[in-house]
Chain A
């Protein structure tokens, strides 16, 4: 069964450093998403991406964040200068031919900023 994969599973970085979180969505899906979950808190939407551009973003997704689909298979989230409060589990998701299809999630990347 096709699934969304994410690498790395755990990333530890120093405050101020850049990180890139990688995702491989399900191959025939057209819509891509990033969410985050700070420990003990709700899942929060960051950004959605369709047709090679951002379709929607939340207030969390400020200038420090960017997304890219560099090669037609990977979908990346970059944080330019990490802060302590960026420590969270980051989930990538994808959905199929319509944005009304259910979103399928990857296992997540745990980001720890020291």
Chain B
């Protein structure tokens, strides 16, 4: 069965420090991975995706994520956190080998708090 795990409910980081939000996944085929961000009272905004190619993908707002096939992980990173990065972050996966499978499977979300 497909699943996504975000092991941390909340991550606290001081402004200017690097941040990591963890995500691991389980699919039977090749994964198609996403990160989305949700600000209070707003919809889900696309940050970045991995389909194939370079394991390090760069996205919006200075975020990047590293695909690690052996560890089935897709952790979100940023070298220097901003207070405005405080939000709820969701990891999602789709099984690329299932042509009829359009749905995204979501993690539970990680609340990122950046302290000044």
The answer for the CA separation of A50 and B102 in the assembled complex, in Å, is 10
Tell me if B107 counts as interface (CB < 8 A to partner A). yes
Contact of B46 among A43, A104, A106 (CB under 8 A): A104
- Is B106 within 8 A of A44, CB to CB? yes
Closest A residue to B48 by beta carbon equals A102
Question: What string of 1s and 0s marks CB contacts (under 8 Å) between A91-106 and chain B?
Answer: 1010000011011111
Tell me the bound Cα distance from A107 to B109 in angstroms. 17
**Contact A48:B102 (CB < 8 A) given known A102-B34, A105-B36:** yes
Q: Is B56 an interface residue (CB 8 A)?
A: no
In the assembled complex, the CB of A88 is this many whole angstroms from the nearest CB of chain B, namely: 14
Chain A interface, DSSP helix/strand/loop, else mixed? strand
What's the nearest-Cβ distance from chain A to residue B45, in Å? 7
- Main SS class of interface, B: loop
> B36, B46, B107: which has the most chain A beta carbons within 10 Å?
B46
Within 8 Å CB of A6, what residues of B? 43
Q: Do residues B107 and A99 form an inter-chain contact, with CB atoms below 8 A? A: no
Partner of B102, one of A33, A44, A104: A33
Q: CB within 8 A of A105: which of B43, B102, B103?
A: B43
Q: Mark B65-108, 1 if CB is under 8 A from A, else 0.
A: 00000000000000000000000001010001000111111111
A31 near B43 with CB under 8 A, answer no
**Distance from B88 Cβ to chain A, minimum over Cβ atoms (Å):** 10
Contact in complex: A42, B103 (CB < 8 Å): no
Q: Does A56 contact B (CB under 8 A)?
A: yes
Instruction: Show the binding face of A for B, using Cβ within 8 Å.
Output: 4, 6, 31, 33, 35, 41-45, 48, 50, 55-56, 58, 91, 93, 99-100, 102-108
